[in-house]
Structures are given as C-alpha cells and as structure tokens.
C-alpha cells in the first residue's frame, strides 16, 4: 500500500487541555492510533503542546464557543469530541447535528446534572439516597448541624463552603455576592467520600461501575484508590435506570453514619479520575470512543481493586519549533479570532 493509499488516522477533539487528566488522555488516545486535536482557553494549558494540533477557543459559556468548536471539528475532519469541562457540555452536545460523535450523556441528563438543585430533587423523587437539599435561603434544618453551601451550578469545589453550624448561614448569605436563589444548602454527609465512574453508552446498558475512595481532594481529587462496594454500584446503576444518561457520567457521594451512600453531585462527563479507572482495567474513554465511532466492543466490569492514583506534576518535552508553532500568546476574548496555528508541521 502506498503512502497515498494509507488510511488516515481518525481525528478526535479533546477539550480542556489544561485539566489535570487531559495530557494523559491525549497521549493515551494517540497510542491507540488517534490523531488528537486539543483546545483550551489558556495558551499555557500543557495538553495543547502534546496534541497533534491545537487551538485556543473562547470560554464555553460564550456565544462564540459553539461556532468556533464546530469550525475546528469540520476543518480537522473530527469524528468525535471528548468534552471535559461543564461550561462546554451544552454547546458541544449540539455537534451531533453535524454527524460528530460527542462522548456525553443525552442532553436532558446533562441539563439536569448541571442544575444541582433540580438534580437532587429528581434523584430524591426517584427514591435514590441524597442529602437533604434546599435553596440556601429556604434552609430549615437543625441549626446546630453542619451544612454544605454551594452554587446551584458550577464545577469542582468553586464556591463550596462548609459551615460547622447552620446558624452561620444567614451571615454567609448576607456577605455573598451571589443572589440567594443561586445557592443551595445540603446537610453534610460525614462519611467516606467516593467518586464513581459509570460507563454506559447509547444502548443504556451499564458496562462498568468503578468506585474510587477519595483519599485527598483539593478542588479535584489528588489521591484515590479503587474499592469494590456493592451498594455504591447498585445506587449508581439505579441512576442510569431512573434518569437514562446513556453516556458516561461520574457520581460523587459519601457514606452516611449508617453506611448508606448519599449522592451529592453528578458530573455528566468523564471524571478527572478517568486515568485511575483506566489503570484499574476499564478504558472508559478509549472504549466508549471506539463504540461511538466504529462499533467497538463493550467494556467489561472487570477491574482491579486497590489501585491508587497519586496525582503529580509530570514533565514532557517537545521540539522548540513545535512549541512555537502552537502560538503561546495571550488568550483571546470571545470576540477575538480564537484559533491558534497547528502544533507541528
């Protein structure tokens, strides 16, 4: 077969090149034979310089984002997009109209999860275990118990405050620069925290559930260990049955004093701990990508318990010409021309 006849590598766009897991995800997909295009709003995002090509994009919440990411996908001939940040999810999901596979749950599930107040009530109405949750201004729980106050929408630990006593809630609301109806209050669940990868695709069948005990969390999970927990797996499978994600999602929960897992958040996308899921034996990103684009095989719920993720800085090295070709310049505003030149030649 001549070079001209060789099949072209399938191209995948991976967003949020500055997220902790993205550089490893890019390299993993490259090893699997994909050509990876990375995007981010920040030119210092390290994943940009590891991808085969990269672009700066406007913030996912801006009106300029969808036209820009669509243009990138069409220009690069992308067969799929792997979005990794909440602000982009609603816009990116619309790329399915262009025949591009988007590795997300169905849009209705995404919208529900991005509204934490709505999510808690949907789960509670379905009989799933959740902490008591109210709008912060309407909280009427026991004044002496700790509560968690957080934005109704948002990601990571941004804006999340733990109050040792609900008696402090009034002062917090008075000092907050957010409207009271944009904050929710939840009873604090004091037991062990877990972050759980739930691997599912469009047929609705759960292929794997991988619970990971959170050892240290600073915004994102820093250290975690895979743990088998039958009740956690049962609850996470019930989420799919009741809400029909039909795509990958991440459940965050904690055990209460009786050992019952209580869901306090769901991320309708791959978790930052997806590399740990992979290390344990379930390639949720690569496996679902294969299913979405080429009818790849189902994944198995067969993985190793006791695998620990130690998240750290890692140094990578690229040729100077390749680095300069990526255009390390200030990030553009939403109104500016956002694309950056190719990484490499």
pLDDT, tens digit, for every residue of 136-160? Answer: 888 887 777 888 999 988 765 677 8
Helices (H), 46-106: 65-76, 86-93
At residue 181, the pLDDT reads: 77
The dihedral of CA 38, 84, 43, 224: what is its sign?
negative
pLDDT at 2 over 70: no
pLDDT at 264 over 50: yes
Quick one: pLDDT band at residue 174, thresholds 50, 70, 90?
Answer: confident
Are 97 and 143 part of one and the same domain? no
Are 86 and 16 part of one and the same domain? yes
- Domain membership flag for residue 230: yes
Tokens of 76: 């690069």
**How many CB atoms lie under 10 A from the CB of residue 142?**
12
Are 208 and 249 part of one and the same domain? yes
pLDDT, tens digit, for every residue of 100-115? Answer: 999 999 999 999 999 9
- Domain membership flag for residue 343: no
CB hemisphere CA count around 203 (13 angstroms): 10
Q: What is the mean pLDDT of residues 199-207?
A: 97
Final residue in a domain of this structure, among 187, 207, 234: 187
- Domain membership flag for residue 268: yes
> Residue 159 region, left (φ>0) first, then alpha (ψ -120 to 50), else beta?
left
Helices (H), 41-149: 65-76, 86-93, 107-114, 116-125
pLDDT, greater one: 207 or 180 = 207
Are 171 and 253 part of one and the same domain? no
Are 39 and 145 part of one and the same domain? no
At residue 327, the pLDDT reads: 63
pLDDT, greater one: 74 or 167 = 74
Q: What is the CATH number of the domain that holds 64?
A: 3.40.50.20
**How many CB atoms lie under 10 A from the CB of residue 5?**
6
pTM of the predicted model as reported, rounded to 2 decimal places:
0.89
Q: What is the DSSP string of 173-202?
A: HHH-SS-GGGEEEEEPP-S-EEEEEEEE-T
Judged on CB neighbours under 10 Å (0-12, 13-18, 19+), 155 is: middle
- Domain membership flag for residue 335: no
Are 214 and 271 part of one and the same domain? yes
Judged on CB neighbours under 10 Å (0-12, 13-18, 19+), 268 is: buried
At residue 32, the pLDDT reads: 96
Residue 23 to residue 38: CA distance in whole angstroms: 9
CB hemisphere CA count around 33 (13 angstroms): 7
Q: What is the CATH number of the domain that holds 157?
A: 3.30.1490
Residue 14 to residue 27: CA distance in whole angstroms: 11
Q: Which of 89-103, 144-158, 204-218, 224-238 has the lowest mean pLDDT?
A: 144-158
Query: Structurally, how many domains does the chain consist of?
Result: 3
- Domain membership flag for residue 20: yes
- Domain membership flag for residue 62: yes
- Domain membership flag for residue 158: yes
At residue 343, the pLDDT reads: 44
Q: What is the CATH number of the domain that holds 300?
A: 3.30.470.20
Q: What is the mean pLDDT of residues 302-322?
A: 90
pLDDT at 30 over 50: yes
Quick one: pLDDT band at residue 46, thresholds 50, 70, 90?
Answer: very high
Which range of residues forms the domain containing residue 163? Answer: 132-187
Are 182 and 218 part of one and the same domain? no
Report the relative pairing of strands 11-14 and 78-82 from DSSP bridges.
parallel
Are 203 and 296 part of one and the same domain? yes
At residue 239, the pLDDT reads: 98
Are 90 and 56 part of one and the same domain? yes
pLDDT at 245 over 70: yes
Residue 89 to residue 102: CA distance in whole angstroms: 9
Are 204 and 231 part of one and the same domain? yes
pLDDT at 168 over 50: yes
- Backbone dihedral angles phi then psi of residue 291, each to the nearest 5 degrees: -70, -35
Are 305 and 221 part of one and the same domain? yes
- Domain membership flag for residue 120: no
């Amino acid at each position: 077969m001549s070079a001209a006849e060789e099949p072209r590598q399938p191209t995948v766009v991976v967003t949020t090149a500055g997220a902790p897991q993205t550089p490893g995800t890019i390299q993993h997909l490259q090893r699997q034979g994909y050509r990876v295009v990375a995007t981010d709003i920040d030119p210092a995002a390290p994943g940009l310089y590891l991808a085969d090509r990269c672009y700066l994009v406007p913030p996912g919440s801006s009106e300029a984002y969808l036209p820009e990411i669509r243009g990138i996908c069409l220009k690069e001939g992308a067969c799929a997009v792997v979005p990794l940040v909440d602000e982009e999810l609603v816009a990116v999901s619309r790329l399915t109209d262009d025949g591009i596979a988007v590795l997300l749950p169905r849009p209705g599930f995404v919208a529900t999860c991005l509204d934490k107040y709505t999510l808690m009530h949907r789960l509670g109405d379905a009989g799933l275990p959740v902490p008591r949750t109210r709008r912060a201004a309407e909280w009427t729980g026991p004044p002496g118990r700790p509560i968690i106050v957080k934005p109704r929408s948002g990601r990571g630990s941004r804006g999340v405050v733990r109050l040792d006593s609900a008696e402090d809630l009034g002062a917090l609301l008075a000092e907050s620069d957010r409207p009271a109806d944009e904050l929710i209050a939840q009873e604090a669940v004091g037991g062990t925290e877990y972050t759980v990868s739930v691997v599912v695709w469009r047929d609705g069948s759960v292929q794997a559930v991988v619970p990971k005990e959170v050892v240290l969390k600073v915004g994102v999970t820093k250290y975690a260990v895979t743990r088998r927990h039958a009740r956690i797996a049962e609850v996470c499978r019930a989420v799919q049955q009741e809400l029909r994600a039909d795509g990958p999602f991440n459940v965050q929960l904690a055990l209460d004093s009786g050992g019952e897992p209580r869901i306090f958040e769901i991320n309708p996308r791959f978790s930052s701990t997806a590399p740990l899921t992979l290390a344990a034996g379930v390639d949720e990103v690569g496996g679902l990508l294969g299913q979405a684009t080429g009818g790849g095989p189902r994944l198995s719920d067969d993985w190793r318990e006791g695998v620990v993720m130690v998240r750290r800085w890692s140094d990578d090295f690229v040729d100077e010409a390749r680095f300069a070709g990526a255009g390390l310049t200030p990030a553009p505003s939403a109104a500016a021309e956002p694309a950056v030149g190719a990484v490499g030649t």
